[in-house]
């Protein structure tokens, strides 16, 4: 039977609790947002003693369900001021589930400032150990030491130096399948919350754990097989398909050709150097350089999409894993940099220092706009990243994100919503994703409602990205379905096959229902998703956010975006109507 582990950082106690009845069917984002809504005052300071941090594996995480190793992290965001769920794919989430832990709630506040702790979890319980010897060090230096000390098969959750300094761009790091500090719950600054609690590491050892109980194994297996077949046959997710062969950065060329790739701090929709930083070019260099380079790399055991990569240096030794589309864009097109080796180094620094690549790439682009560097100056971008790690006054400004940096430098073109920098899709050229950015409870976040699927990829039927027609409904439907998927533990990319292949959708629903022993149908997906959205919206309203916060930056309304020369023209009343359900 699963338990909740409540960790109090004031008196350093860790106690197991029975799972309340209302939480028994929940997992992932559904559970993190429910606990935060129930236990956290929306008006509290995100870095103060009354905020909490919740880790929750998805409903099917820890089972043989395909591509289901996601973990949700929830709290009040230092970046947006509202509720936040940020998730990652990692074996560590599967280990937590197999220990019989449904959620970890971290609360309280260390009485001794500047001291950090390690929490070790195994089948026998939880133990606190001092972590001061690793404070101030890069995660690439620390992770091998921790694996040597605690065993090669443990999972590691951590914050880097940015989290120690409570910077709002700080993420929470999980090890990948090979032990790298490279899988991040990056968005929203939840690494700063973990740092404010004085919690540096969580070590998870699932050896001898009770495993995961499946209520209806027959239904679960029927659903799992349908979903595997759908993932394995869809053009985007199958073995040898676009994602497996070229990784998520396959979108670089596609978005640039569509005029929706934000370039030079969202001042254009096309990038001349797109081909030089594309997924196709990454795959070519992995093959040409050989050595450690590879594509088709999984982020956790059981992932059958395998869209990750290991990018090599010219001599074939490993540089970084992995170069994903968002990170590639953030330090590439958005900063005007067309050098993959420089982009790889910037991503590696983010992994090492513990910051979100999207937020930091956006921050450096805003800094370039503000005159701290020229667009395309990769060396200066690297120097600015080092400032963050040093914690200099400039570094602390940059480390607190694009909105803070823009305000400090007097920059008007700051592409943020609710204080969070936009990801790699221009809303003036792709209207549906703009509606998601504006209205999501999470701030500007593509994963909250990925309308790129129909607007760019043609999944579920092609939709004109430049049109505003029907886009509110489209975004709402994607947001609600995504909220449900974030609860299950499944990777967001299963959305492609379950949208296009009816049996895949059936399989996803059946696997979850079999796991829990419920009679859920496809209708429950939208019902539960809207319930999650409504709950998060209520928290944000309690935190002081209003419909005025559901708006894109003003410059997008009057500044045409080349090459289509479109402005943001979705009326405010249409944005407000998304929440009329």
3-class DSSP state of 120: strand
* pTM for the predicted model, two decimal places: 0.98
Which residue reads 């709402």 in tokens?
476
Tokens of residue 13, six digits: 């106690």
Q: Are 128 and 209 in contact (CB under 8 A)?
A: no
The pLDDT, as a whole number, for residue 98 is 98
3-class DSSP state of 181: strand
Distance CA 560, CA 102 (A): 48
The pLDDT, as a whole number, for residue 416 is 98
List pLDDT tens digits, range 504-554: 999 999 999 999 999 999 999 999 999 999 999 999 999 999 999 999 999
CB burial class (10 A; 0-12, 13-18, 19+) of residue 193? buried
Distance CA 507, CA 220 (A): 8
Positive/negative CA dihedral, 227, 230, 235, 240: positive
Distances (CA, A) of 253 to 276, 329, 344, 452, 462: 9, 11, 18, 14, 18
Q: Which residues does the chain have with pLDDT short of 50?
A: none
List pLDDT tens digits, range 350-378: 999 999 999 999 999 999 999 999 999 99
Distance CA 436, CA 533 (A): 12
Nearest CA-CA partner of 114 in 143, 136, 129? 136
Q: Are 220 and 212 in contact (CB under 8 A)?
A: no
Which H, E and C letters describe 365-426, residue by residue?
HHHHHCCCCCCCCHHHHHHHHHHHHHCCHHHHHHHCCHHHHHHHHCCCCCCEECCEECCCCC
Q: Are 102 and 62 in contact (CB under 8 A)?
A: no
CB burial class (10 A; 0-12, 13-18, 19+) of residue 210? middle
The pLDDT, as a whole number, for residue 274 is 98
Distance CA 370, CA 362 (A): 12
The pLDDT, as a whole number, for residue 206 is 98
- Angle at alpha carbon of residue 437, lines to 436 and 442, rounded to 5°: 95
The pLDDT, as a whole number, for residue 114 is 86
Distance CA 365, CA 359 (A): 10
Per DSSP, what are the bridge partners of residue 103?
4
Domains of the chain plus CATH, in order, are 3-204 (3.60.9.10), 249-426 (1.10.569.10), 428-500+519-581 (1.10.599.10)
What dihedral angle (degrees, nearest 10) is formed by the CA atoms of 572, 574, 576, 580?
170
Distance CA 33, CA 83 (A): 7
The answer, yes or no, to whether the previous bond of 442 is cis (omega within 30 of 0) is no
Distance CA 484, CA 486 (A): 5
- Angle at alpha carbon of residue 536, lines to 532 and 540, rounded to 5°: 170
Burial 60-77, CB ≥16 within 10 A → b, else e: bbbbebbbbbbbbbbbbb
Quote the percentage of the chain above a pLDDT of 70.
100
- Residue 546 parent element (H or E): none
Distance CA 490, CA 68 (A): 4
In a 13 Å sphere around the CA of 531, the CA atoms on its Cβ side amount to: 13
Nearest CA-CA partner of 70 in 493, 491, 515? 491
The pLDDT, as a whole number, for residue 113 is 84
């Amino acid at each position: 039977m699963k338990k909740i582990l409540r960790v109090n950082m004031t008196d350093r106690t860790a106690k197991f609790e029975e799972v309340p009845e209302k939480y028994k069917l929940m997992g992932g984002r559904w559970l993190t947002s429910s606990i935060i809504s129930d236990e956290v005052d929306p008006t509290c300071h995100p870095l103060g003693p009354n905020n909490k941090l919740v880790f929750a594996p998805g409903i099917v995480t820890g089972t043989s369900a395909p591509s289901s190793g996601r973990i949700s992290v929830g709290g009040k965001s230092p970046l947006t001021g509202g509720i936040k769920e940020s998730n990652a794919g990692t074996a560590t989430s599967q280990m937590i589930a197999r220990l019989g832990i449904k959620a970890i709630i971290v609360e309280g506040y260390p009485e001794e400032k500047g001291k950090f702790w390690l929490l070790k979890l195994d089948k026998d319980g939880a133990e606190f150990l001092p972590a001061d010897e690793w404070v101030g060090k890069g995660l690439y230096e620390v992770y091998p030491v921790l694996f040597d000390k605690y065993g090669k098969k443990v999972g590691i959750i951590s914050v880097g130096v940015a989290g120690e300094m409570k910077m709002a761009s700080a993420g929470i790091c999980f090890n990948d399948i090979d032990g790298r500090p490279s899988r991040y719950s990056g968005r929203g600054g939840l690494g700063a919350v973990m740092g404010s609690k004085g919690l540096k590491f969580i070590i998870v050892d699932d050896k001898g754990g009770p495993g995961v109980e499946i209520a209806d194994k027959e239904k679960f297996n029927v659903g799992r097989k349908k979903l595997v077949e759908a993932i394995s046959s869809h053009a985007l997710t199958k073995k040898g398909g676009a994602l497996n062969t070229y990784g998520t950065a396959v979108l670089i060329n596609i978005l640039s050709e569509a005029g929706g790739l934000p370039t030079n701090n969202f001042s254009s929709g096309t990038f001349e150097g797109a081909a030089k930083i594309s997924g196709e070019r990454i795959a070519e260099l992995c093959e040409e350089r050989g050595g450690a380079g590879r594509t088709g790399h999984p982020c956790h055991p059981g992932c059958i999409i395998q869209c990750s990569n290991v990018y090599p240096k010219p001599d074939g030794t490993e540089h970084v894993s992995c170069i994903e589309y968002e990170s590639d864009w953030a330090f590439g097109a958005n900063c005007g940099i067309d050098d993959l080796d420089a982009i790889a180094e910037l991503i590696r620094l983010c992994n090492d220092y513990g910051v979100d690549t999207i937020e930091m790439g956006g921050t450096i682009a805003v800094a370039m706009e503000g005159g701290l560097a020229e667009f395309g100056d990769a060396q200066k971008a690297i120097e600015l990243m080092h400032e963050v790690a040093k914690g200099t006054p400039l570094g602390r400004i940059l480390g607190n994100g694009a909105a803070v940096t823009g305000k400090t430098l007097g920059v008007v073109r700051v592409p943020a919503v609710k204080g969070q920098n936009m990801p790699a899709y221009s809303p003036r050229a792709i209207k549906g994703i703009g509606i998601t950015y504006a209205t999501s409870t999470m701030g500007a976040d593509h994963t909250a409602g990925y309308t790129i699927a129909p607007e760019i990829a043609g999944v579920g039927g092609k939709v004109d990205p430049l049109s505003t027609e029907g886009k509110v409904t489209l975004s709402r439907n994607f947001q609600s379905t995504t909220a449900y998927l974030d609860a299950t533990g499944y990777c967001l990319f299963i959305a492609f096959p379950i949208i296009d292949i009816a049996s895949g959708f059936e399989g996803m629903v059946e696997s979850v229902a079999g796991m829990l022993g419920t009679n859920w149908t496809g209708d429950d997906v939208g019902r539960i998703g809207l319930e999650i959205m409504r709950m998060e919206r209520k928290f944000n309203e309690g935190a002081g956010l209003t419909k005025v916060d559901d708006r894109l930056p003003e410059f997008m309304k009057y500044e045409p975006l080349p090459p289509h020369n479109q402005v943001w023209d979705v009326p405010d009343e249409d944005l407000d109507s998304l929440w009329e359900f």
